Amino acid sequence: MAAVGECSLPAPWRPVSFTHVEYLAGDFSGQLLAYLSLCPIFIIVGFVTLIIFKRELHTISFLGGLAFNEGVNWLIKNIIREPRPCEEAHSTVATKYGMPSSHSQFMWFFSVYSFLFLYLRMHQTNNARFLDLLWRHVLSICLLIVAFLVSYSRVYLLYHTWSQVLYGGVAGSIMAVAWFAFTQEILTPLFPRIAAWPASEFFLIRDTSLIPNILWFEYTVTRAEARNRQRKLGTKLQ
């Protein structure tokens, strides 16, 4: 129970605006777009979870690129210092500057990098079936749609102008291409040496850059190991 005097503080309370998104009351579309604009938060949580369980160097590099992209966005915002539209419309915003949109830059970095990864990094085998290729096209289209909707939500909810969202998307796309090229040409040749470090072996950090299709590889290896263990278990029970 609060003691007397604890409820009256000399300084006002301030919210954590990292996930604070406002929409007009009764606007169902605005509510959906507000939740959709939280995609960057979900993506970061997903990356952290994936790194904890997979501990793969390329995934760590991808997250590092997203962090670097956010740093570049902060730098550009504080150089241009273009205000947000309708500043009086929202009670709390993370930053008072809006050029370029960080949400748009984040989502287009993530989508374009994922697009390049799917088509240039995850090579299919020669006997790939139509359905094996179809999921890649469907996933790419979904990524682009989500990136567009998140960018649109920032304009719809009056957090950014169209130009701020557009330049954010352009900046994120350019950063994605540059970081993908940097990862492929500079970091990937170093991954085997990094994976051999004692610290990497201690934390079970691995390099899968030489495996063309990591999903298919993990599936086949896991299935073969499960069948082998099942066969051994069946032999012991006889």
pLDDT at position 214 over 90 = no
Contact 68, 179 (CB under 8 A): yes
What are the domain boundaries of the chain? Answer: 27-207, 211-238
Cβ neighbours around 157 below 10 Å, total: 20
pLDDT average, residue stretch 205-225 = 79
Question: What is the fold, at CATH topology level, of the domain defined by 27-207?
Answer: Vanadium-containing Chloroperoxidase; domain 1 (1.20.144)
Of 4-18, 107-121, 150-164, which range is least confident?
4-18
Q: What is the tens place of the pLDDT at every residue in 116-151?
A: 888 887 765 545 566 667 878 888 899 999 999 998
pLDDT at position 76 over 60 = yes
Q: When comparing pLDDT for 16 and 180, which is higher?
A: 180
- Its pTM stands at 0.80
